[in-house]
Each structure stands twice: as C-alpha cells, then as structure tokens.
Amino acid sequence: MYTSKELKYHNIKDIPNCKIHGRTDLTGPAIPLFWNGSGVEVRVTGSELWIDIEVDFDLFEPWICVELNGAFMSRQMLMPGRQSLCLFRCMTSHDEKTVFFKRELQAMHEDDDCHILVHGFKSDGEFLPVRERSCKLEFIGDSITSGEGSYGAKEDLDWLSMYMSSSINYATLTAKAMDAEVRIISQGGFGVFSGWDNDRRHVMPAFYDKICGLAFGEFNASIGAAKPYDFNSWMPDAVVINLGTNDNVAFSNPPFTDPETGKTWKLRLKDREAGLRPLNYSAYNKEDVGQIRAAVISFLKDLRKKNPGSHLVWTYGMMGGELTIPIAAAVSDYIEETGDLNASFLELPDTPENELGAHSHPGAEAHRHAARILTGYLKNVLGKR
C-alpha cells in the first residue's frame, strides 16, 4: 500500500481547528463520542488523512459514518481496540477537504463497555478552521431520534445497533437543510414519564443534565460521561423535543416492577376499554395521562431554565398520534403557567405502513418527510426573530 511519506501524527488536543460535535468532555487526553451524531470535523489540506480511535463494547457495537465535503462516503461497524481508520487517500494535496467522522449509534445504556474515543489524526496537510454553521439545534428524543429503522429492511425485527443512524435521520436532515450544527440526546425505549415497558426510570429528563447520562459503567465515568453538562458552553437556537411515543406504548404493555423498590408501575387503560385497541388517548386512564402531562410541563420548565434563549418545540407523532392532544395540552398548560413566549408544539405525521424501515420504525422516506415539515417550521420560527 502506497502511503504518503509526509504523514504526521497530531494529537487531537493539538488541533485547535478541529470542530468537536456533540456533548462531550474536553478535559481528557482523548475526545469521547458519546451520542448519536457526535463526531469530529476537520478542514484539511494534504493527500491523506487517518483518524486514530479507540473503541470497545460488549453487546452493542458502535457504527460510524464519514462525510467528505458534505457527501456521505462510508458507514461501518467498529471493532474493539485502538485503531487507525483511513478517511481519504491520494487526494490532490493542496485542495481543502472537509471531513466529518460521526457516530451513528446512540449512547447505549445497556452496554457499559460501549465507547468511541478519538485520539488524533495522521495527516500530510494542514488543519484549517471549519466553517461555522448558521445556527444550532438540539434534539432530545427516543429511538426515532436515534434513527432506529432508518437503515435495514422492513422485515428486520431485531433490536440492533446497525439499524440506528445519525446519517439519515430526521434530525440530521433538518440540520443540513437549516445549515445548523446539531446535538442529539436520544435513547430508544425512553419516554418523558415512562419507558416503553413501564419502567419509569427510563425517561430522558432524568438524564438531561449530565454530559452523557446514558453511558454507564466505570470506563464511561472515567472519560466524563457522568459529569454535569455545561449548558452555557453551547446555546442552541432551538431545542426539539420528540418524546411521548414510548409513554404511549406503555399503556398497552404489561406492568414493570422496579427491581430496587419492588414497586410496580403501569400506565393503565380505562376499565371499560380493556381488550380494545385504543383509538386515542381517550381510552387511557385519566390520572395516568395527567402524569404524562405533568412530566411534559416539568421537563419544559427544566429545559427553559437550562436554555434560556432557545425556542422550545415539542414534536410528536411519527409512530402514532394517540398522545397528540394531551401533549399539546400540556404545552398549553406550561405556557399558561409560565407565560413563556418561545415554546410550541408541532405534530409530525404518522408513518404509513409502506414507509416503515427496520424494527417497525420510520424508514428513510418517513425521516425525509418529517425533516421537510420540521425544516419549514424552524425556518419560519427562527427567521421571525
């Protein structure tokens, strides 16, 4: 294999022009990529570029993708170990190239070993400043926002790393259309008040404050996952919350017993509806719906505190709209109570059968549809101000 003789190793800490995407801890010797959509982006000259990374996992292997000058180039599974991946070779040396190395996989709360660390680059060129995007967007969500099903065949029903993506999920598509820098905080199965299986510990608000509250285990702690996140370090123009889909599913699922307290949790259907497939939330126990509404209000208050200047928009609907009304009503209650002038609700269209991807989740076309609507909404809202 031919290789440039001018390659030099650059520790990532020595490349001030490297753009770090996603919440992370900058204090260690390497940069952890904790979240779906997090990554490192460089603008370089030179004929060749390698990235030096360190990877581990137990069950859920991380996937990454690489964009070259904004175009999707590769997507692959990573194996454990310290390793160099070649990002490009044999290019015209003096041309400037922008390379974005990006994590496809969400933070994996069920795999304490799962991590990617970026140590540095090998290059025979120079690192130049990366172009700044025109705005900043934060997404908080569940499997939809983790891009689950954006890759994979419709028949594929396993729950696997490889079906998730940041490369073609609606969050990234929206960000590209808005020329926005994006941070994604998402976890499959999680809700705002309850997880899909009635486990109430699996809710995003509980994990919002740390750099990456969903990366558990000693190693992840050692690289800063559990540290408090500095909300002043990156202030999004808008925060898009896409939660409620798993809370909704919990109504149809069996109870969950908290292993620590022995307490049993269950979002309940109304008695008279037992056995019926619910048409919408009117089949749900009123008190339980009220708890979800309260959780929405409470999370909005929390988000406002931590994002004082951001537009907050709660989106919902890509996997069924049963909770549209209570969620919108909760946003209404929040606004009534707080007088917040900068919060809203946006329904996204349900995914029709023929647009489903893997694991019965929205496929690529459904993500494009959602992105089109969300982009229209955000352009309007952010342009207004």
Restricting to residues 293-332, which ones interact with its own copies according to CB under 8 A?
A: 311, 317, 321, 324-326, 328-329, 331-332
Count of residues binding its own copies (CB under 8 A)?
Answer: 81
Among 38, 185, 16, which Cα is nearest to 117's?
A: 38
Nearer to its own copies, 26 or 79 (CB): 79
Stretch near its own copies under the rule CB under 8 A, chosen from 16-24, 138-146, 155-163, 189-197:
155-163
Which segments of the chain does DSSP mark as H helices, in order?
A: 170-178, 217-222, 245-250, 286-306, 324-338, 364-384
Q: How far is the CB of 228 from its own copies (least distance, A)?
A: 30
Evaluated on CA atoms 328, 330, 331, 336, the torsion sign reads positive
Check binding of 350 to its own copies (CB under 8 A): yes
Q: How far is the CB of 14 from its own copies (least distance, A)?
A: 25
Nearer to its own copies, 298 or 342 (CB): 342
Separation between Cα atoms, residue 255 and residue 253, nearest integer Å: 7
Residue 152 makes CB contacts below 8 A (sequence gap 6+) with 160, 162, 163, 357, 358, 359
Check binding of 282 to its own copies (CB under 8 A): yes
Stretch near its own copies under the rule CB under 8 A, chosen from 26-34, 138-146, 257-265, 276-284:
276-284
Residue 284 makes CB contacts below 8 A (sequence gap 6+) with 251, 267, 268, 269, 270, 278, 322
Residue 134 DSSP symbol: S
Q: Of these, 51, 144, 162, 214, which contacts its own copies (CB under 8 A)? A: 162
Instruction: Kindly identify the residues of this chain, within the stretch 1-60, that bind its own copies according to CB under 8 A.
Output: 1-2, 56-60
Please, is 12 exposed, middle or buried when counting C-beta atoms within 10 Å of its C-beta (0-12, 13-18, 19+)? buried
Phi-psi domain of 359 (left: phi exceeds 0; alpha: psi -120 through 50; beta: other): left
Nearer to its own copies, 39 or 213 (CB): 39
Contact between 381 and 346 (Cβ < 8 Å): no
Evaluated on CA atoms 343, 350, 138, 182, the torsion sign reads negative
Instruction: Kindly identify the residues of this chain, within the stretch 182-221, that bind its own copies according to CB under 8 A.
Output: none
Check binding of 381 to its own copies (CB under 8 A): yes
Nearer to its own copies, 74 or 257 (CB): 74
Separation between Cα atoms, residue 271 and residue 1, nearest integer Å: 70
Check binding of 238 to its own copies (CB under 8 A): no
Instruction: Kindly identify the residues of this chain, within the stretch 109-138, that bind its own copies according to CB under 8 A.
Output: 113
CA dihedral 174, 164, 21, 125 (to 10 degrees): -110
Instruction: Kindly identify the residues of this chain, within the stretch 90-109, that bind its own copies according to CB under 8 A.
Output: 90-92, 95
Contact between 78 and 55 (Cβ < 8 Å): yes
Q: Of these, 27, 279, 287, 305, which contacts its own copies (CB under 8 A)? A: 279
User: What is the DSSP track for 163-187?
Assistant: G--SSSSHHHHHHHHHTEEEEEEE-
Q: Of these, 16, 70, 228, 262, which contacts its own copies (CB under 8 A)? A: 70
Q: Of these, 5, 233, 275, 341, which contacts its own copies (CB under 8 A)? A: 341
Stretch near its own copies under the rule CB under 8 A, chosen from 89-97, 139-147, 237-245, 248-256:
89-97
Q: How far is the CB of 153 from its own copies (least distance, A)?
A: 4
Separation between Cα atoms, residue 212 and residue 89, nearest integer Å: 34
- Amino acid identity, position 20: I
Nearer to its own copies, 255 or 309 (CB): 309
Please, is 262 exposed, middle or buried when counting C-beta atoms within 10 Å of its C-beta (0-12, 13-18, 19+)? exposed
Q: How far is the CB of 27 from its own copies (least distance, A)?
A: 28
Q: Of these, 29, 255, 308, 376, which contacts its own copies (CB under 8 A)? A: 376
Stretch near its own copies under the rule CB under 8 A, chosen from 225-233, 242-250, 297-305, 348-356:
348-356
Token code pair at residue 40: 């490192």
Q: How far is the CB of 13 from its own copies (least distance, A)?
A: 26
